[in-house]
């Protein structure tokens, strides 16, 4: 299993997500670093865990449409490739983000968040723009999809995932925001199993609520090929040896 650390950006700082309640997000207090600067956190992830990639949620872009390009560059300069969620709602926005990345010389891949996406057709267009490499994030809260797309509001998470896959998605994040930062485990295990059973080719990434090595093993056994982790790294509940253990190929 591949472990992807999460960096949530807000007002130039790395913040700790709590149940998706963004008004409660505050700069992180971490055992890894002395401050909440993006460059400090990114450097610690590289130095202490040898991570190569980070999921970056630019909350300023998601909430207000203001991209934190300075912070993107700092994270990339520390040696991390970005999986970047910048609140992309359509293909025009995606083109602008791609252009910004090229201008800044940043190595990143786009994350398309369900909560931001304005239509299924725009998902198809973004996947075509990205040669089907964009990562679709199935954003849910307490099991309920977070979407502004009317025709998807009555669908289950599994049905929305099937729609996304039919529109060119082959890399999919399952993220239950209700579990983020709550240290009580993840509730997406059955959804992971169902997706793996129905779509064996899928690169399946799970996030939200990971506490320790046992949670990572449970996600791997449920079919997840990667996991998003943040609080457990900062709190010391996942150590470098744990990451090495779960990342090692099977004998």
Q: How much of the chain, in percent, has pLDDT values that exceed 70?
A: 95
Instruction: Report how far apart, in Å, the C-alpha atoms of 191 and of each of 51, 55, 129, 144 are.
Output: 27, 21, 28, 12
Instruction: State the pLDDT at residue 250.
Output: 62
Q: What is the pLDDT of residues 55-98, one digit of tens each?
A: 999 999 999 899 999 999 999 999 999 999 999 999 999 999 99
Count of Cβ atoms closer than 10 Å to residue 217 Cβ: 13
Q: Which of 47, 84, 85 is nearest to 63 (CA)?
A: 85
5 neighbors 247 (Cβ within 8 angstroms): no
186 neighbors 219 (Cβ within 8 angstroms): yes
- Average pLDDT for the chain: 93
Q: What is the pLDDT of residues 12-52, one digit of tens each?
A: 999 987 655 667 678 999 999 999 999 999 999 999 999 99
Instruction: State the pLDDT at residue 127.
Output: 97
14 neighbors 36 (Cβ within 8 angstroms): yes
Q: What is the pLDDT of residues 164-184, one digit of tens each?
A: 999 999 999 998 887 776 667
In sequence order, the β-bridge partners of residue 139 are: 175
Q: What angle do CA 186, 48, 204 make, to 5 degrees?
A: 35
Q: What is the pLDDT of residues 142-154, one digit of tens each?
A: 889 999 999 999 9
Query: How large is the angle between the packed helices 91-104 and 120-129, nearest 10 degrees?
Result: 30
Rounded to whole angstroms, the Cα distance separating 10 from 190 reads: 32
- Please give the model's pTM, rounded to 2 decimal places: 0.93
Instruction: Report how far apart, in Å, the C-alpha atoms of 46 and of each of 32, 54, 80, 125 are.
Output: 11, 10, 7, 34
Instruction: State the pLDDT at residue 181.
Output: 62
Instruction: State the pLDDT at residue 187.
Output: 86
């Amino acid at each position: 299993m591949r472990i992807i650390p999460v960096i949530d950006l807000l007002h130039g700082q790395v913040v700790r997500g709590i149940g998706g309640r963004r008004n409660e997000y505050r700069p992180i207090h971490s055992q890894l670093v002395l401050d909440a600067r993006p460059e400090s956190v990114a450097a610690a992830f590289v130095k202490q865990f040898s991570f190569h990639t980070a999921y970056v949620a630019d909350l300023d872009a998601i909430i207000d449409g203001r991209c934190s390009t300075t912070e993107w560059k700092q994270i990339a300069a520390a040696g991390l490739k970005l999986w970047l969620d910048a609140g992309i709602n359509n293909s025009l926005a995606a083109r602008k983000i791609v252009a910004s990345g090229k201008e800044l010389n940043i190595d990143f891949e786009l994350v398309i968040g369900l909560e931001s996406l304005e239509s299924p057709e725009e998902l198809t267009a973004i996947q075509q723009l990205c040669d089907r490499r964009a990562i679709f994030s199935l954003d849910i809260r307490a099991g309920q999809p977070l979407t502004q797309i009317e025709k998807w509001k009555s669908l289950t998470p599994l049905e929305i995932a099937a729609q996304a896959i039919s529109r060119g998605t082959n890399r999919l994040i399952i993220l239950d925001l209700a579990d983020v930062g709550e240290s009580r485990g993840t509730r997406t295990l059955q959804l992971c199993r169902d997706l793996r059973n129905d779509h064996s080719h899928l690169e399946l990434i799970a996030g939200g609520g990971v506490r320790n090595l046992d949670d990572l093993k449970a996600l791997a056994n449920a079919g997840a090929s990667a996991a998003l982790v943040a609080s457990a790294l900062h709190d010391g509940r996942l150590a470098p040896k744990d990451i090495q253990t779960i990342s090692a190929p099977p004998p």
